[in-house]
Amino acid sequence: MIRIVIADDQAMVRAGFSALLGEQPDIEVVGLASDGEECLRVVAQLRPDVVLMDVRMPVLDGISATRELSAVPDAPRILILTTFDVDDYVFEALSAGAAGFLLKDASPEELARAVRVIAAGDALLSPSATRTLIERFAATRGPRRTDRVVLGELTDREREILIGVAQGESNSEVAARLFIAEQTVKTHVSRILAKLGARDRAQLVIAAYEAGLVAPGAR
């Protein structure tokens, strides 16, 4: 059972998401929060697997709450909720430790799938809106020399796989493109995560764009 906490300052949004997810046989909504500070307290008490986190909330915003939650041991996976597909705060939330983001107008099926993807330890990077957002902010931030040095520790194969991840490819798509087994891709991704000190695929994408390994908009 995937245990969920929903943090949003709008009562109707909290109730709506709670009702939708409550219909799923493998998902349980265990707590609700109306701001970031309340979210921290609820998460500390209930220890959920996933937090659905609104970006703009009073008292403590979603980015700050995400950063604080990500810093604790056994942190829950955080899925950012946003109204717009291009939100100035989402990239910062991903950098703070969020595993992905989802538009609030997503269908019930998309919402449930997103929760399962995040809970499974993957990052929600497939939607084109996520790639567009990361590309836009990576382009404005520009390559960082220190990131290039770190990427120099990767093998040629690992760099090929990182490029695929940064372009939104799944493990199976990377495997098909490189003519290798999907399990081999998973092993390489784990090694890349360790070498770059990244916690998930979202941070791998950010690192690849910031280092200039993949140009914004490239496919």
Residue whose entry in the numeric block shows the structure tokens 């979210």: 39
The domains found in the chain, sorted by start residue, are: 2-124 (3.40.50.2300), 142-210 (1.10.10.10)
The residues, ordered by sequence, that sit 6+ positions from 173 with a Cβ below 8 Å of its Cβ are 164
Please answer whether residues 65 and 91 qualify as being in contact, where contact means their C-beta atoms are separated by less than 8 angstroms.
no
Q: Tell me the residue type at 42.
A: V
Number of H helices, E strands in the chain: 11, 5
Per-residue pLDDT tens digits of the chain, which is 219 residues long: 999 999 999 999 999 999 999 999 999 999 999 999 999 999 999 999 999 999 889 999 999 999 999 888 888 999 988 776 555 566 677 778 888 878 888 888 888 988 988 887 766 654 455 555 555 655 655 555 445 556 778 899 999 999 888 877 778 888 999 999 988 998 999 899 888 888 777 778 778 877 777 765 555
Nearest partner of 129 among 162, 101, 107, judged by Cα: 101
Complete DSSP assignment for 143-212: --HHHHHHHTTS-HHHHHHHHHHHTT--HHHHHHHHTS-HHHHHHHHHHHHHHHT-SSHHHHHHHHHHTT
How many C-beta neighbours within 10 Å does residue 12 have? 8
Nearest partner of 98 among 69, 134, 57, judged by Cα: 69
How many C-beta neighbours within 10 Å does residue 57 have? 23
pLDDT at 146: 43
